Amino acid sequence: MGDKPTGGFQARDEDQLRLEKSYSLEQLLSHKLFEDLSVENTRIFLLSLIHHLEELWKDTEKRSQLTQLLIRCLQSTNIPGCLEASERQKFVSALSSELTVKQFLSFAVPMERKLGGNLSEQKYLISTQDKILQKDETVKSPLFIIADNLRSAFNVGSIFRTVECLGAEHIFLCGYTAGPEKIKTKKSAMGTEELVSWSWHSKASLVIKKLQDQKIPCIALETASPSSSIFDFNFTKKCALVLGNERYGLAPELLSLCDETVHIPVYGQKNSLNVGVALAVAAYEYKRQHQS
């Protein structure tokens, strides 16, 4: 096999971005000379490998083949400098045990972000003249947002922008959810990351329990059953909306911790909205109920 990847690989949920090149499954499995790749193609090779591993996770044979290949690559000396040795060793140790796909992603997503320099950003965002408000002119709502394991930094930035426009109280970023220091988050947040109160936490479950101890109900926004439509649900003045991963949603253990579960009715073939859009719809319904 040569040193040229194929074209047209689309990143799954990284803000509709595209890798300009990628390696097919057949190319990955037949590749014998990973060490001979250029630095740029090494990055593309690893990104392609992570993508195929996730997509083929249920295929035990392919998963085993790709996992062994990923371990060999991570132990190679031909690794981009953005990946620290300690980080690679932790991933290798984890891959040597039985992982669920969610556990795999907890290692893969941060690494994917570091390798993602060849992902092209959306180039155009609409800019309008913002209002200049004094601190005492801002109208705050006692609404909290818990975002657990969101993969897309662009989605996180969108949530920051919605939260600022709405005047919500605080965002809790949990797990591997991207922070506002990420360039993709900043681009879609449009400066609101400087205006919104936020904090990072390793476990969303601890945040939920802490808020509940303060008598703040936590409401899962999820396409789960049973759940209530946001348009039939009465939001308390002080509450928290809990958001899960774009693809896999909230983990069952987090759903069971939440006080209520609500969903947004949809009328097409797809059963859910983009997480940033969903938050905006639900949060503005909350605001409508408490507008007075």
Domain of residue 155: give its range.
Answer: 135-289
Q: Produce one character per residue of 250-261: b if its CB has 16 or more CB atoms within 10 Å, e if not.
A: bbeebbebbbbb
Any domain includes 125: no
Residue 169 falls within a domain, yes or no? yes
Do 152 and 112 have their domain in common? no
Whether 209 and 259 have beta carbons less than 8 Å apart is answered as no
The pLDDT, as a whole number, for residue 224 is 87
Q: Mark whether 98 and 153 lie in a shared domain.
A: no
Averaged pLDDT score across all residues of the chain: 83
CA distance 78 to 72: 11
Mean pLDDT of the region 170-196:
91
- pLDDT of the residue at 272: 86
Whole-number percent of the chain with pLDDT over 90:
46
Give the residue among 236, 238, 249 at the shortest CA–CA distance from 211. Answer: 238
107 part of a folded domain: yes
Give how many domains the chain has, as a whole number. Answer: 2
Span 162-181, average pLDDT: 93
**Given 52, 87, 118, which residue is the final one in a domain?**
118
Say yes or no to pLDDT of 112 above 90. Answer: no
Question: Is the whole model's pTM more than 0.75, yes or no?
Answer: no
Dihedral-angle region of residue 287 (phi above 0 means left; psi in -120 to 50 means alpha; beta otherwise): alpha
